[in-house]
Every structure is written in structure tokens, then in C-alpha cells.
Chains A and B, each alone.
Chain A
Amino acid sequence: MKKPVIFDIGWNACINCGACIAVCPQPAGFVSDFDTIAVNTPCEIACMKCEDICPVSTISHLVVAAQENPHK
């Protein structure tokens, strides 16, 4: 089982291209106010496809400890 992660986006490099959302297998709504994948909600799928597609590699993640995950 993959551990849930929280994504962090370096906004300075983000070109707002939306590619991260397009490859994201999460259901509707896993988006930020800045048209990227969500940054304040843990992702249980943790496939990291968003990190792979980002043309400027500006997405990183932190593994969320179980107690920090509001969905658990």
C-alpha cells in the first residue's frame, strides 16, 4: 500500500499548464485554486504522475503520517 502524500507546488516555476490535473486519476475536485492538482488535501493514490508530467518539475510531496491524514 502506498502512503498518502500532500503535494507542494513551487509557484514561482509553475506555468499554470494544467498537465498535472490531466493525468490525475483522482475523482473531480482534486484541484487547487490555481488550476493545479490539490495542494492541501492528502492524496491516497500517490501515483506521482503529476510530478512526472510537470514540464518544469515544480511539484514535490511530503508523505503524510497516518494521524495527520483527515481521511483516515
Chain B
Amino acid sequence: MEFDIVIVGAGPAGSTVARKVAAAGFSVLIVDKRQELGSPIQCSGAVSRHALLENGVEPDTEFIHEPIYGFKIMNGLGGEKEIDYRKLKPNVYGTQEGANPLGYVVDRRRFDRYLLTQAERAGAKAWLKAEAIGYEQAGDDVIISIKHYNKIERVKTEIIIGADGLRSQVGKWAGIKTHIKLKELASCLQFVVDGVETNGLLELITGSQTAPGGYGWVFPKGNGYAEIGLGIIAPYTNVNAQVHLDRFIKNSFLSHRFKNARLLEVQGGGVPLASPLKKQFARNIILVGDAARHVNPITGGGIHTALSGGTVAAEFLIKHLPSGDDNSEKNLAEYQDNWLEAFGNQMWKLYDVKKKIFKEKDITIQDKKLFETMGNYFSPNSDYKKI
């Protein structure tokens, strides 16, 4: 069996590469070890409308839980900054005719399935229950081994796309150091609940009292549901995310809003608040999305960056595959250069901003800086809108 490219992982990053490269006429195999994409959910699902449209994804009721119109950042000490685009730009954002939401909270199960559907409709072949387990060199190509319903399939390909998320093994296969420092991985836990009111805003709660090293959140989840969660940095606290979330719900300045919360789902995950990988490629290998740590180091958002990283990778491949150039590391380096130019350099800048905040030893000043940075980040004049 032979494909021009094999993509490991059908999350937002992998399915974007698959859709775009298949649409350009190349043969694409995308594999995912899960039986239901996006499940178990390890994401809150907030994504801007702009991020979807920019990457050729039409907002669709199939995956939208609830439209979003802005942000409210709180620090638990009385500090509040509301950035409601319905008020700031009423002609552009809102529910009225001609206006649109700023973004959405999506259902990752449906969103990931939708993205794969689009990839398959563009001509990509997809296997689920298919775990990539390693590869070997075969001249200028590679042979990737995929465990598919207990059978080992060996597939020849020019390039493997490692879109295998936070726990990426593809990068490790190629000798790329992918593991994340403990102080740069937020340990996150969230509950989907009934009985908590929201009003179309993403609410973010900063402060070491709530979430040391990270932040808490209350997101609208559609059908009157909400999502209450937080991410902490383990070395900044001596208790786990579960204890912090319990305190946040039962004993915080927002507890009065949570007193009727009825639990519906428990979800969690790790969010790299880290720099992008310094090297996101190797011979025959390209990493994209969480696997390359394409994650916003301030907000932890990774859907937009996964989609956009997927687009950059696809555009590179569409040029590279028919070029006759071999698949050496040297020839794949351009992918990362393109990515840096498109938005990677901005991510590095954001990482520096984040590092400066957490270098501050005085916790009160650190908390104040994070609150201000979050507020500025989501404001209409933000330098970082693209990511």
C-alpha cells in the first residue's frame, strides 16, 4: 500500500492537512487510534469564527454548541474587565441581521468528525481504530506500521505528518525532543454542568488563589449548560487540579453562581503553556498542531493554531510533493520557516510575554500582570489576534 502522505492523528491539525492536500489531488491516508474522534473530550471547545473561516471551515450547527460574543476577565479580588463585542462593534457582532458571533464553543466530538468528513469528501482515505506504531526508512521514502484492528499494516509514503497531539510519539520516533517541562504543562480539569447561567461570554478567572500558574474558566456550553474548569501548573501548588476545582466551585467569589450546578461530564487534559518546538520536522517527518506545540502560551488555545498550522503544512506539501526534491531534513525545513512567518514568530513573542509574567517572584505582582495581559490579549486592539 502506498500514499503520498500518511497523517497520524485526525484532530483539527491532521484533518486540515488531509483535506487540503487531498483536494490538491495527492493520495492521503489519515489514521486515528480512536473509535470516536474527539472522545474522551480533552478540550473546552472555544474557537473564533475568524479561525474557522480563515482555514476554510464553515461554521455549522452540526458542531456548534453556542455562539460567543466576547470575554470577561476576573481576578477574584474585584478586578473585572468585560470585552463584549456586541457593545464594542454592534454592527459587526451580535444576533441581529448581518451581524455574526465572534466565535463559538464547539462540541469536539462533532467538530473533529466534521473536519474528517470534509477531508474524506476531498478524497483522503481514513482509518479509525488505527494506531501508528513506528516507521522505517525505505530509500527516500518510509514505511509506517499501523496497528488496525489488531492487524499490522505497512504503508509506504513520502512523508509522515505527526498530528498526534499532546502525547505525540511521532516526534519521538524521529529523535525530536517533544516532552514538556512540568512547569510549562497546565494540568486541567473541567466539569460540564447544568444550572449555571452564562451570557455569551467566555469568562476567565486569573489569580493564584484560583489556579496557580494558569487560570479558571466558565464557558457557555449550549442548551443552558456551562463548563467550569481550571488549569494549574503543578510546581506552583501542593494540591492537584481536582482539589483546586473543588475549591473554586464550593469556596470562591463565584461559588454563589455554582450552588445549583448539576454535574453532567468530567473532562481534563494537559495544555502546554510552552514555546513551540524549536524543530518541528525531521527527514520524512513534519509535526503539526499540539504535536509541534502550536499552542497559544498565554491562553492555552490550540484549535486555531492547529487549523492554521495544518494549512501551512498543507500549502508546503502541495509545493514540495511534485517538486522532485528528496524528503531530507534540509528540504522539509521550509515548512517551519513558513510557519514561523505565518504566525510562529508571534507565538514566540507571546511565549516571552508569558515567561516574563512567571519570572516575577512576587505573587501579587505576578497575578496582576497575568490579569492585565489577559485583558489586553482579548481587547480589540490586541497585537495577537491572529493566534
Query: Residues of A with Cβ closer than 8 Å to B?
Result: 15-19, 21-25, 27-29, 31, 35, 49, 52-57
Is the Cβ of A17 less than 8 Å from the Cβ of B180? no
Is the Cβ of B179 less than 8 Å from the Cβ of A55? no
> Which residues of B lie under 8 Å from residue A23 when comparing CB positions?
179-182, 185, 270
Is the Cβ of B270 less than 8 Å from the Cβ of A56? no
Measured CB to CB, the closest approach of chain A to B183, in angstroms, equals: 10
Give the dominant DSSP class at A's interface. loop
Give the dominant DSSP class at B's interface. mixed
> Which residues of A lie under 8 Å from residue B241 when comparing CB positions?
55-56
Closest 9 CB pairs of A and B: A19-B270, A28-B172, A55-B241, A21-B167, A17-B268, A17-B269, A18-B167, A52-B234, A15-B268
Would you mind naming 15 contact pairs between A and B with Cβ atoms under 8 Å apart?
Answer: A15-B268, A18-B269, A19-B166, A19-B185, A19-B269, A22-B180, A22-B270, A23-B179, A23-B270, A28-B169, A28-B173, A52-B234, A53-B234, A55-B241, A56-B242
> Which residues of A lie under 8 Å from residue B188 when comparing CB positions?
17, 19, 55
> Which residues of B lie under 8 Å from residue A35 when comparing CB positions?
167
> Which residues of A lie under 8 Å from residue B182 when comparing CB positions?
23, 49, 52-53
Q: A17-B269, A35-B167 are in contact. Are A22 and B185 (CB under 8 A)?
A: yes
> Which residues of A lie under 8 Å from residue B134 when comparing CB positions?
28
Total interface residues on B, CB under 8 Å, equals 28
Q: Which residue of B lies closest to A29 (CB)?
A: B169
Measured CB to CB, the closest approach of chain B to A19, in angstroms, equals: 3
Q: Which residue of A lies closest to B266 (CB)?
A: A15
- Could you tell me which residues of chain B, from 299 to 317, have a CB within 8 Å of some CB in chain A? none
> Which residues of B lie under 8 Å from residue A29 when comparing CB positions?
169, 172
Query: A54–B173 Cα gap in the complex (Å)?
Result: 24
Is the Cβ of A52 less than 8 Å from the Cβ of B235? yes
Is the Cβ of A22 less than 8 Å from the Cβ of B166? yes
> Which residues of A lie under 8 Å from residue B251 when comparing CB positions?
none
> Which residues of B lie under 8 Å from residue A19 when comparing CB positions?
166, 185, 187-188, 268-270
Q: Which residue of A lies closest to B270 (CB)?
A: A19
B165, B181, B235, B241 — most chain A CB neighbours (10 Å): B241
Q: Which residue of B lies closest to A14 (CB)?
A: B268
> Which residues of A lie under 8 Å from residue B187 when comparing CB positions?
19, 53-55
Is the Cβ of B42 less than 8 Å from the Cβ of A56? no
